[in-house]
Chains A and B, each alone.
Chain A
Amino acid sequence: MAQTTPQPVSILFGPSESDTTAHLVEVPPAEFADLNLDQLVADVTAGRDEYELKPYFYTPLTTPAGVEFRHDVLRDLQAGNVTETVRTFAGAMRGMRALLAEADGLRYPRQKQRVLLDAVIRYVRAVGGLSAALMSAELVSAGMLGFRDRLDAYVASEGFSVLAADADQVADALDELEYEFLIDGGRISVLPLTGETDYSAAVAGTFAKFQQATAASKSENRADPVAMNHVEAGILNLVAEVFPDQFAALDRFAHDHQVFQSATIARFDREVQFYLAYAEYLARATGDTVATCLPAVTADRTSAACAAVDVVLAAKLAGSSQPVVANDFSLTRDERLLVVTGANQGGKTTFARAFGQLHYLGALGLPVAASSATLHLFDRMFTHFERQEDLQNLSGKLEDDLVRIHAILQQATGDSIIIMNEIFTSTTVSDAVFLGTQILGRIIALGALGVCVTFVDELSTLGPETVSMVADVDPADVTTRTFHLSRRPADGLAHATAIAARYGLTTERLQERVQQ
């Protein structure tokens, strides 16, 4: 049936983002790999290729109102059992599409028609079930309310009712059929059921008394291809001769309902997967141990989070005994840059990634792995992570670093976010101090927010705009990294202390040992 509605409603893009709808980004942003967001998207969309969800993840929102629109939809989905309802609906729709694909591959028309009929029944049940379940849901979001209106109108339409009634009637008639066939030599005859005894049961019955233990009967389910061979098709034709009315009805149905899906339903089916897929991923990654929240997303140049974790790392460690360490950060008032120093392997890169992921996912209007967060809505996000493959040519690497940073600074604005990880490791300390100071100075001048992971302590005290964070070590055993970062002045000694401790040469240990 033809859909006369002009444009299907969206549950992903509110009125403020309507332009974006037409401009979904089709390729991953440059910063994706550095932040491990490529892994995240691959994980989130795994098994959901048919929905083509990736472009939604490549297209961050540009207005706080757009983010709020998605937050509202998310709250509706989380309320009651709406998510369960939608999941049931999506499962049925997937089943329906699988049937359509199967019908496509079949050769004999009576097979094709029957599978199409099944697909329609699946579709009708999916849509009807969704409509009935959403009727009682207390929806408040503009996105879901808009969709429900359209859905209700569609289900109430004459076209849909006729489709549903036809499908049931034709299917019921076919389901009731029972026939017999006699194979005698090369001849097959089909006839209606005569009611002769089930012989296998009779044989089994005769010998049942010998049974000792009740064991599950060995039923070999040999794979029987759906597609018929010409003998089966021949028998089906004989069955159609014996039951002409039922098969005529099937033929008519297939002709009348070749196209039956509504565009509104199809769009909802796709878009809602963006939320479901991410929610499943986040639940899997965070389990019971990591907090999640819907962040406040703001145009102001301020960012803060409590108990933030690298969600990709959390996903990787999920199910293992290794905990993911959560960190707090805050950039308020004049503060612009988190300068991270401290022990190697102490969680600095992980922290930088978590910072980037949080802002990016926040801009997608999604919940994040933190107990609470206020996140700056960026216009662009830039990352500069060390490139391992360039290590053999150190001078080339420094040059390459500077070229890349220059390009970033040219494109960045005061609303951008810049994340730099281990820059200038290929040069002397004094060079690194100089270059670092220069570049951070320019970022500060721009007013952009960011993180800078460095071994250069001096960069942490450039001015009121820089906030120093240090990767901690366990005070009881300095060789153990905690992966925890604290907001405190850089001490530069953490690593040296750790090595000394391994040989019992820390101040405390020396005191004890000398006294003995």
Chain B
Amino acid sequence: MTYRYRDLLALEPLSADELTFLLDQSRPFQEIQRHPLKKLATLRGKTVALAFFENSTRTRISFGTAASRLGADTMNLQAESSSVKKGESLLDTVQTLDAMKPDCLVMRHASSGAADFVARHLDIPVINAGDGTHEHPSQGLLDALTIRDRLGKIDNLNVTILGDLQHSRVARSNIHLLGKFGCRFTLCGPAMWVPRELEKIGAPGVSIRRVFKLEEALEDADVVLVLRVQTERMHEPSISNEDYVLGYQLNAERLRHAKPNALVLHPGPMNRGSEITSEVADGSQSCVLEQVTNGIAVRMALLFLLISGAAGDGGHPAGTSAEDSQAPRNRRSTDKKEVPHASD
């Protein structure tokens, strides 16, 4: 089993075997996080461009650390301090970065499909580090890796996802990954954040139900994924913090409705006292810090895989020759989306 694609844009098109391969390839890098010397020379002389058109601290640091531990250099573009503010189009910005000859582009953008759009225009591998409300594939992988480490498997689990589902690319990547392993999903949150359409986002046969009472949604859960309340993605707060706490905050008492050793995951940053209490966040069921450590391992695996696979004249992921170097892009074949515009 190998990974056939040049990019990582989404988890949705990947098979269970391909996802397992990506998780397995992350294991050696988990070991490296425990080494006294964490820096490899494997990607020495390679450059990873990090283009974050949307604010990010942890994902950017995680990818940057992953690159640096592989021996690669990074170039950083942050929307706040860049020409994007001066009105440059997305394509001009990434083509300018590409002209500086990086070996891989890691990008985050507020528009769904932005990474896919960029990947069509560049020859280097593109890793989607979050695009609008679409997907955040490396987060989905690190969540699955964390669950697999703790529970020994990711098959046939009951997964409850809690919070602002509508705006959550993390939830979508998790559903697309874990759904391929027979996991069943219970989505819970205020009704306007858990629209009916979400029941259909999984592949055919993936069980997704909506439950609006938290205690009921936690019943029999193996994994509870708590999402951050994303005020920056909402035009106005549609529920007050007090009401959210009252109805949907995960506290120790409510967590007892889940299975005894149910795992609690949170993609961060956490708002303690809002969607999660400190008691739960710091409790033995919480995997929050393991998620962060595993994030670097997953991202090292992705960078290694995509950069070494496309390296030099050594051939492309599918084992094709240099002449036939167009490895398939990692996207849905049905994806006929309009090209998104940078400014939307």
**B partners with A:** no
Interface residue ranges, B against A (CB under 8 Å):
none
Chain A residues near B (Cβ < 8 Å)? none
